Amino acid sequence: MIKKILILIIISVTTFLSCSDNHPEIHKKDIVAFDLDSIRARGSLKVVTDFNSTSYFIYRGEPMGFHYELLKAFSDQIGVDLEIVTENHLEDAFDMLHTGQADILAMGLTVNSSRKKEIQFTEPIDRTRQVLIQRKPHKWQTMPSLVLENSLLRNQIDLAKKIIYVQMGSSHAERLNSLAEEIGEPITVIEVPFESETLIQLVDEGEIDYAVCDENIALVNSRYYPEIDVRTPVSFSQNIAWGIRKTHSSQLQKELDNWIKSFKNTRTFALLYAKYFKNSRSNTIVKSDYYALNTGKVSQWDDLIKTYSDSINWDWRLLASLIYQESRFNPDVRSRVGAYGLMQIMPETGKRFGVDITSSPRNNIKAGAKYISWLHSIFDPKIPDENERTRFILASYNAGPGHILDAMKLAEKNGKDPLIWDDNVAIWLLKKSEPQYYNDIVVKNGYFKGKESIAFVHEILDRYEHYKNIIPENDRPISYIPR
């Protein structure tokens, strides 16, 4: 048992070190006050959260999660984009907040006095208590209730001289150490770099005997692991909140607190809470082949997507995001204008690349990749920056290259950068719906309503960032425990 735990710790630490380059070195002394007006001016809210079956995950190609949906609602409220970075090591997540890599630490943080010295808490989002995770005895289903109860630890005094695992940096170690003082007996508390769901799985598999985590998380996981018991509390009810830096002034704190107070009283919040913490379907989601945390998959077409993304030198997760946008991975979709298949190939494009509506999903993706390759032949010589070029190619996939080339010419003629998409060419694509611009001498393809194409680019790239947060580029899933 101990050997496996040590191996898991090594793997966890190695994984962290391999990702450490994603977090640039920033010193606390370099951080200046940065608040809501600065966030709005930047146009994005930067948040660090953890990935698990309740906070943030990908299911069937769609980003989901309780904290994710709350954050999306808040970012929409203040009118900015949401940028999420994931970090399941609490100490490193706190460091990202302190060093300015995130504006909000959005996890289920227990509010306590020691953390109040380090961060500023928001209005509570939830309330829960800490509970003991223990395994039910063999053949517990056939035991009389009294016998079953007597076989489990139900009194906090019974924790004396037990070995209990907790997430490193969590409030659970502090609580257990206080409990040891209260009962006058030692409790061996082992902090490990795994979040609560990993520890629950380890208890279920018999690798460890006891762990402690928050009750709301424990209750959700008890649906996945019926062999565990989560009914022994080790603390009183405690508030759960998000955290912000103390260097923030009052703007962000006030906006967040007012929004949380208001939103918690809505039916939307009640439905959202039930969706993630009281949903009987959650077991089906976690055990699905398309629960990306366990499998690294977003669809049944992943192998084909990987094959043809290689042919155009794209990250397969970007091509997957485009296909989700076009068809939600449904090969039988047909649009009102006749586009068909996973990549919504237009009939004329299909003829050019040798497919029609009867073609297989493989050939549909192959034709879409060929079309993207053709778009590269147009824009590669024109746009040197790879990230910008991707935006132009995505826009062209939706609008056709002619309208995008028109918008580039209009942008250049009117003093904007024709090689930059956001706030430059995108603006002039929108203006192609106005007569004075679509009749301009530099425009070759006439009227175009560009709003859909701009949203198309934004939504694909936004989803791609979520995929990068959760789904590895290679074939190995970001699972909690190697299987």
Model's pTM, two decimal places? 0.90
Confidence at residue 281, expressed as pLDDT on a 0 to 100 scale? 85
Mean pLDDT over 88-92 rounds to: 94
Q: Could you read off the pLDDT of 101-159 as tens digits, one per residue? A: 999 999 999 999 999 999 999 999 999 999 999 999 999 999 999 999 999 999 999 99
pLDDT of residue 2 exceeding 80, the answer is no
Q: Could you read off the pLDDT of 290-334 as tens digits, one per residue? A: 999 999 999 999 999 999 999 999 999 999 999 999 999 999 999
Mean pLDDT over 462-478 rounds to: 84
Write out the residue limits of the CATH 3.40.190.10 domain(s) in the chain: 2-125+240-288, 130-236
Dihedral sign for Cα atoms in the order 385, 390, 391, 395: positive
Write out the residue limits of the CATH 1.10.530.10 domain(s) in the chain: 302-467
Residue bearing tokens 């565990």: 228
Burial call 56-95: b when 16+ CB within 10 Å, e when fewer: bbbbbbebbbbbbbbbebbbeeeebebbbbbbbbbebbbb
The fraction of the chain above a pLDDT of 70, given in percent, is 91
Confidence at residue 21, expressed as pLDDT on a 0 to 100 scale? 41
130-236: CATH number: 3.40.190.10
Q: Could you read off the pLDDT of 32-62 as tens digits, one per residue? A: 457 899 999 999 999 999 999 999 999 999 9
Q: Which CATH superfamily is domain 2-125+240-288 in?
A: Periplasmic binding protein-like II (3.40.190.10)
pLDDT of residue 267 exceeding 90, the answer is yes
Q: Which pairing describes strands 62-64 and 126-128: parallel, antiparallel, or unpaired? A: unpaired
Strand partners, 123: none
Instruction: Please measure the distance between the N-terminal and C-terminal CA atoms of the chain and give it in whole angstroms.
Output: 15
pLDDT of residue 260 exceeding 50, the answer is yes
Total Cβ atoms within 10 A of residue 20: 11
Average pLDDT in the chain? 91
Confidence at residue 248, expressed as pLDDT on a 0 to 100 scale? 67
Residue 414: closest CA among 405, 404, 427 = 427
Confidence at residue 14, expressed as pLDDT on a 0 to 100 scale? 34
pLDDT of residue 16 exceeding 70, the answer is no
Q: Could you read off the pLDDT of 390-444 as tens digits, one per residue? A: 999 999 999 999 999 999 999 999 999 999 999 999 999 999 999 999 999 999 9
pLDDT of residue 19 exceeding 70, the answer is no
| Domain 302-467 annotated CATH 3.40.630.30 | no
pLDDT of residue 97 exceeding 60, the answer is yes
